[in-house]
Structure formats: C-alpha cells, structure tokens
Amino acid sequence: MEVVIVPDATAAGELIAEAMATLMRRKPDALLGVATGSTPLPIYQALAAKVRAGEVDASRARICQLDEYVGLPAGHPESYRSVVLREVVEPLGLGEDSFMGPDGTAPDVQAACAAYDTALSDAGGVDLQLLGIGTDGHIGFNEPCSSLASRTRIKTLTRQTREDNARFFDSLDEVPHHVMTQGIGTILEARHLVLLATGEGKSDAVAHAVEGPVAALVPASALQLHRHATVVVDEAAASKLK
Ligand code: F6R
C-alpha cells in the first residue's frame, strides 16, 4: 500500500484525476469504479475539466457504481445512480449506456446483487476503483464486521452512517436503512484501488486502516491485502498516522 499525503482536497482531486486520465490514455475503455459521498467530488470536477480542455478523451470510458440505497424510487435525486449520473457520467460527456450499477429498485435484491457481481466480471473487471472511507472505517457500505471475503449483497446501515448521510436528505427518517454494496472481496478484485480521505474527521479511520491490523472491524484495512492500493490523504486526515 502506498500512502500519498497532499496539502488539501483540491490537490488530492487533481492527483487522482490525473491518474484516471493516464489510465484512459493507456486503456480508453477502462472500467472506472466510482464512489459517492462528498469526498470524491473534487476528483470528478478535475477529471471533467481535463476532458473539457481536451487533455484526455473519456468517450470510451465505462463507469460503475460501488453501492446503492435499497428502496428509493427510480430517479430519486439521492439514489446513487442519480448522483453518479449527475456528478460523473454527464460531466464526462458520457451516456447512460456507459454506466452500470446495482439495481436498488429490483424486486429480488439478492438476485440483483449477484447479477451485479457477474456483470462486473463479464465487463472484464474494474480497472481503477475509487473509495472513500466512513468515520467507522467502512468502504462502500461494508460496515464494521463485514467479511473480508464478502461479495455484493444487501447490508443494513449503522445509525452512525445514516446520521452521516442525513445531510443529503430532508431528515434522518428519509435515509434508507438498507443498501446494496460491492463486498470487500468484490472490491479487492479491482486492479487498482484508490482511497481518498480528507479532513480531520477521517484521521482515526485512516490511522486504523493503514497502520492497524487487518480486521473485519475496520473494513478499509483490507486494502493492506491488495497488491496495488493507493491511499491519498490530506494533511488533516493524515494527522494520526505515525
Ligand atoms: C459511498 C461510499 C461510502 C463513502 C463514505 C464516505 O459510495 O462508498 O463508503 O465513501 O461513507 O463518505 P463521504 O465522502 O461523504 O465522507
């Protein structure tokens, strides 16, 4: 695992966007796994700017989703499908046909989870997977004590994560209790993992993930098992590293 400390979120966004652009120059139809939440937004803005400036051609890139709420109506603005379309797919000039994600409206959620794992491998596997990290060390929506070998499946959110995400909804009551998430085993199959954490609030989770033991209690510590994992942190998020 390599750890890269940058001054701030803007610098992190630029660094990771350039890594994604470099990948697309080498492999124009790369499958890029994206995360939602606040942290990766500077990456998507920097990458879209590179596309607009003609520094990289993203027209053949493929985008895939990490996780999804279960039960939000199709088209809900906070479904992760809507968020990824709005923040990533459209700004890169791509269409919905370049995008895949777990179907949070499926009547049979378990079957939809299994179908998503199959779709990812049928697509050749994820070339670069972006990850954020929860204050409790989750990646995707693999909350503490998730199996390190887990596959895409339905999970129940902790109260902490629902409270953390309530800022995107009108009230805590509106935050779904259930999600579909790529499992930790699924995530570890990506060829390159890039985790970004910014802000002091992530410093404990980063320290446990990077310097603590590999443990299901800290799902992000599974990145220590991956042969090509990059953790990008700003100085505040790095503040508890030894
Ligand atoms: C969302 C996801 C989550 C977030 C994490 C951090 O797709 O995978 O693991 O990355 O909850 O969220 P932010 O960036 O909003 O602090």
Can you list the domains of the chain with their CATH numbers? 2-128+142-182 (3.40.50.1360)
- Nearest Cα to 134, choosing from 161, 170, 98? 161
User: For residue 73, what pLDDT is reported?
Assistant: 93
**pLDDT band, residue 110 (cuts 50/70/90):** very high
Helices (H) and strands (E) in the chain, counts: 7, 10
All residues at 6 or more sequence positions from 76 whose CB lies less than 8 Å from its CB, including other chains: 82
Give the predicted TM-score (pTM) of the model.
Answer: 0.97
Q: Hey, what are 161's tokens?
A: 């994560």
**pLDDT band, residue 228 (cuts 50/70/90):** very high
Residue with CA nearest ligand 1 atom 11: 134
Strands (E), 7-133: 31-34, 62-65, 67-69, 99-100, 128-131
Task: Report pLDDT digits (tens) over 118-175.
Answer: 999 999 999 999 999 999 999 999 999 999 999 999 999 999 999 999 999 999 999 9
In angstroms, what is the span from residue 178 Cα to ligand 1's centroid?
15
Residue with CA nearest ligand 1 atom 10: 132
Task: Report pLDDT digits (tens) over 123-138.
Answer: 999 999 999 999 999 9
The SS3 of residue 10 is: helix
User: For residue 112, what pLDDT is reported?
Assistant: 97
In angstroms, the first-to-last Cα distance of the chain is 15
In angstroms, what is the span from residue 165 Cα to ligand 1's centroid?
9
Residues annotated catalytic, as ranges: 67, 136, 138, 143
Q: Write out residues with Cβ below 6 Å of ligand 1.
A: 35-39, 66-67, 132-134, 138-140
Strand-strand pairing, 62-65 and 31-34: parallel
User: For residue 148, what pLDDT is reported?
Assistant: 97
